[in-house]
Homo-oligomer: A and B are copies of this chain.
Amino acid sequence: MKPVPLDQLCINTLRMLSIDAVQKAKSGHPGTPLDAAPMAYCLWQRFLRYDPADPDWPNRDRFVLSAGHACALLYSLLYLCGVEAKGASYPSGDRLAVTLDDLKSFRQAGSHCTGHPEYGWTSGVETTTGPLGQGAATSVGMAIAERWLAATYNRPDYDLFSHNVYALCSDGDMMEGLSNEAASLAEHLRLSNLCWIYDDNHITIEGPTGLTFTEDVATRFLAYGWHVERVSDANDLMLLDKAYQTFIDTHDRPTLIIVQSHIGYGAPHKHDTNKAHGEPLGAEEVRLTKEFYGWDPDADFKVPEGVVAHLRAHMGKRGDAAHAAWRKLFAVYRAQYPDLAEQIDQMQQREVPSGWDAALPSFGADAKGLATRDSSGKVMNAISEHVPWLLGGAADLSPSTKTNLEFDFAGDFQAPEAEQAVSYRGRNFHFGLREHAMCAIGNGMSLSKLRPFVSSFLIFTDYCRAALRLSSMMELPLISIWTHDSISLGEDGPTHQPIEQLASFRAMPGMIVLRPADANEVVEAWKVIMHLKDRPICLVLTRQPVPTLDRSTYANAGGVARGAYVLADTPDGKPDVLLLATGSEVALCVAAYEQLKAEDIKARVVSMPSWELFESQPREYRDTVLPPTTTARVAVEEASGFGWERYTGFDGAILALHSFGLSAPSKVVAEHFGFEPAHVVAAAKAQI
């Protein structure tokens, strides 16, 4: 073994641990760790402000591995840097985020080294990545959060929030439309705390990127307005160092560092080929690679002496000192600004400030009623005024989704230099027609412990499901608000009328779908939302007015919290037929119920705004609402009927859609598809 300087030894240790982990697992991606180790090392060792003893320190720099397939590199870093475990996934408490045993059991059940990085399961993983583009877009949300926190909570001499956000991106990350959307917005917002490192290794799974990707990425980012740096050799620490320093010194725009690299660097037969990407090198190639690096080919999972100490002496020491200084600063800040400090504490715990519900409206009975998008807009405004970190916006639809925060001090979130009237303290976001980036950015903001909401029409969830799925997987309480929720949106027609979207979210693990029936159910929906800490929610709202039900006649809307409740019933509580509905179809069922009642037919209306909340109730409650012996049932929803059989069984009736919608005025559309009291009444009678 030829001697190598300590930096190089650390870098090669990252490389060798990564290829050993992949080889032992007989599964994984060795090529990127081999090429990107110097980029990650240089950043962590010389720049990242990160305390290994507390990976949750709010003012830490963030490192996002958007190229999630290269996770062996991240795990090796976490291990060598001695990052400690924190969080619910570590019942035993005192341990490292990643142990050598975890690395040796890479991609095996129980290991904290999973096949792609999983937030919440492995401390130090800042966000779950793997589906390409997500990490990059999420990092924009983290950078936004830092700007907002700094603008809102920093005070003269108190730079509580001052961190940077880095994302390591692959060729694939650059190709995905998601990252394009996010990059365009990041520059518009002039997020100078954001740095993307593009590992330009020219290889994807099908072969050289020249097969399909020949654009000039640097010029594209210049077109957005980013600062662009080039590093012509991924192994040149001096060039890398200079590029990172230039990012630090750039104060008016985000930075892209394009690093020319060689996938599988050092693997003699796989270097620069797609063979290095997604499969183990093979035992013999691992030996040859180790020889290339002057490593003992027989030593697996070897950490040479001096490596850990070298990382501690720089990366560790810097992070420790920065965190200690911050703690001290925060203690003084707390004395001077106790209210603000308390807000920061609450935010970190995902708690709701007391008094959040001081201005909650309630709505009187009103046959004409109002659209649930309108009542939600009122309720959300009433809450937001009392929850400083509740903030968000729409994908160019806020006038339609009614999600604009309208109180005086709400303001627009914009780069301060753009206009005098706006600043990074603003709470209204203009995401543009970029639904996918909006949701990934929402995840990033939530990961930084803000309480973001995002919004568009329900149909456009089709553009951003992948990000919403990650909200659910990461257990983030992202609030997503989807209006124009059925064919009753009317004239815009089938391209805008959701059909299968409700079912598709009900099938998604962890996601809560909540479709309130009237203004008072909207109030209750927001009570549920505000107390969610670890689940995302889709709040599904109408474009068209729906009656505000008379709660002195029908049951209190508080039942929303249990997901489903008996809204109208027979006096003896023994109905012959159940009418089941959500959202705007509840009023339709109430109308049918009144007709049936007039004919002495014993019906019950069950409002079912959230199946997920209902399923989590005890069986006893569920059986009270839906008595198992009452199998005469009619479910009504202006959407695909898919899934309703859960509540109607083989024999119940489902009034739903079997096709795409129709372009016509709202009432005409509803009638065309049979959403009229008479049809519900007829179906109920046929059931008995």
Q: Which A residues fall within an 8 A CB radius of B?
A: 25, 27-28, 68, 107-109, 111, 114-116, 118, 128-133, 171-172, 175-181, 184-185, 187-188, 204-206, 209, 211-220, 222-225, 274, 278, 394, 396-400, 412, 414, 430-434, 436-437, 459-460, 462-463, 465-466, 469-470, 472-473, 490-496, 499-500, 503-504, 506-510, 628, 631, 640, 642-643, 645-646, 649-650, 657-660, 662-665, 668-669, 672
Contacts and interface: CB of A to CB of B under 8 A. Distances in A.
A396 B493 contact: no
Contacts of A500: 469, 504, 507-509
A53 to B, nearest CB: 27
A60 to B, nearest CB: 23
Nearest to A419: B210
A223 B214 contact: no
Contacts of A222: 219, 223
5 smallest CB-CB distances across A and B, nearest first, come from: A177-B177, A130-B495, A504-B504, A219-B223, A115-B493
Contacts of A111: 663
A108 B664 CA distance: 4
A219 B225 CA distance: 10
B642 A503 contact: yes
Contact of A172 (B176, B433, B437, B662): B433
Contacts of A178: 177, 463
A432 B509 contact: no
Contact of A116 (B172, B462, B663): B663
A205 B649 contact: no
Contacts of A175: 181, 184, 396, 432-434
Contacts of A396: 172, 175, 204-206, 212
A377 to B, nearest CB: 15
A104 to B, nearest CB: 14
A495 B131 contact: yes
A233 B400 CA distance: 31
10 contacts: A109-B669, A131-B496, A212-B431, A214-B225, A219-B223, A503-B643, A507-B643, A508-B640, A509-B640, A649-B650
Given A130-B492, A473-B494, 12 more contacts: A28-B491, A108-B663, A109-B669, A115-B495, A187-B214, A214-B225, A215-B224, A216-B223, A462-B465, A469-B500, A472-B660, A510-B659
A181 B172 contact: no
A224 B213 contact: no
